[in-house]
Structure 1
Amino acid sequence: MKHLLFILILLLTGCQSSSDKEIRAVVLRGPSVMAFAQWLEQPPVIEGKRVAVTVAESPDIVQAALIKGEADIAVLPTISAANLYNKGVRLEMAGCPIWGTLYLVGRTGGNDSTIHIFGRGTTPDILTRHYLSNEGQQPPLNYVFQTAGEITQGLMAKKINRAVVSEPFLTIALRKDTTLRIIADLNRAGTSGMGFAQTAIVITPGLSASRDTLDSLLAESCRFANERPEETIRILEDKKLFAPGMLTPEAIRRCRLDYKSSQEAQAEIDTFLRLIFQYEPKAIGGQLPDARFITSRP
């Protein structure tokens, strides 16, 4: 029944097109929005249309916008993008803007080996399990905390000793508690390569002809954040997307903002999706998306 309802939504909304006057971009609040600070301050124009950026509070809101035809560009977890694609939502992955947000941290002298993780069955959980498997470790895993913010509060209150934390919460925790240290970078296997393509920028078919322009604008926006972190922080604080003092240049640096088109990052995207399929097939809709997910171009 839920599947039939999903198909009905697609039929009712699939014919909707972007506005004649603007292109609608929906960006997930958090590290993703750092890559779009320049767009928030100076909206770009593509094919004569202004890009209007909306910031969403959760991946569910981004997914709903895509399903209902209310977004032309969207930023969401790659596993969510693949899941939507496999369910029939017409989209393609334009590229990946972020290569580092998840880190395993621990407290010096802490005796409890339990690792606290947020998002059971999602990217933080899967990458943690993958890291532990490669290291031959089998510590207890605890999923009582639902968000990175909750985990950070648990660390700061010294209720837990080991946890997976994402930026910008990681930098806050390290700054306020000198007994915490980074145990592992979960964003890539080893020290070389770009890493796991955890975050996707997707577009609807109507923007396929503008891919080159879009790729250039996205790369420029990521460079802006890297080269002008203080200005990026000012924009995001002015837009009230981060509380004053929450975001630092170090947090931006650690996120490794570097836009790569789906063609440039095809191997990394494929590796990441296969890893997700190995650990949690249902997270991407029970199957690997076909080649058109990342290679569709006019």
Structure 2
Amino acid sequence: MGTTPAERRPDDAPPSGERAAAAAADPAHAGHAVQRALRVVLIVFTVGLYFALSPFGYVLCAVVLLIPTRDPSRRTRRLQAIVQVAFRAMFSWASLVRIMHFDWRAVRAGLNLPPGPAVIVANHPTLTDPLMVGAVVPNLSMVAKPVVYRRALIRPLLRGLGYVNGASQDPRSVQRLLDEAGAVLGQGMRFLVFPEGTRSPRDGLYPFGRSAFEIACRSRVPLISVLLRSEPRFLWKGAGFMRPPHPASRLSLELLNHYDPTDFDLDSRALRLAVESDYRRALQPPPPTDGPPAPHQETAP
């Protein structure tokens, strides 16, 4: 059974006949369709360019991994610096060809992070979120999804970067994650966790897990929350590369808050509740300002 225009969701593409009629009736709509099609072509070209150039990056990282060193943390920082350059180059290219816009230079200049190790948490609206944070935060390790970490070809690189394999529901797996993250922080790194565990829903957040907050409490390091946005939304869960919005998405990253776990008596549950509440408040849409003010109601004495 088909859907009527009133029943169709805003993100559902109309049938081709409707699109053609709309384009014929509205020149602006036709121009947007052309720009969207051109953006898809540029996305396909960019993905091909990535697969053509990425082997050179892997070879460079492999060479760094093979160089003997007495200080593994120094090698980790070198690898993190190489990967950060790659992330920045990707966003610079994406802005140049107008696939998406992320001004990492301006974000980096305005990001006032405390020195030393810290747990960084972020909401997760799009697929590019780890790259956004990695482009502006130095000495950054993070949790990698098990399905990615198990890939034999890139596992040595992930280990060299200080990335930690994500945990399953098994308590032993969670304990291993906590121990490995603590070891990374002990080397003076920053450690990124997306406490939702997956990309955010289209509106709001999924409930936060406790791992990030337990890591901060056990290691007694600051926890820093950053707020990520993608407007209009691109690469959200359920939307792939071939559905770019118009106009091109603008990505932003801002510092939300700093938390000292000792202010919460090293209680990871209390810390989680405070951080999640701050995120939900920050992501609430602003109240409407249009329309006449509400009438003043007199109360009886």
Normalising by structure 2, we get a TM-score of 0.22
Name the one with the larger strand percent.
1
Normalising by structure 1, we get a TM-score of 0.23
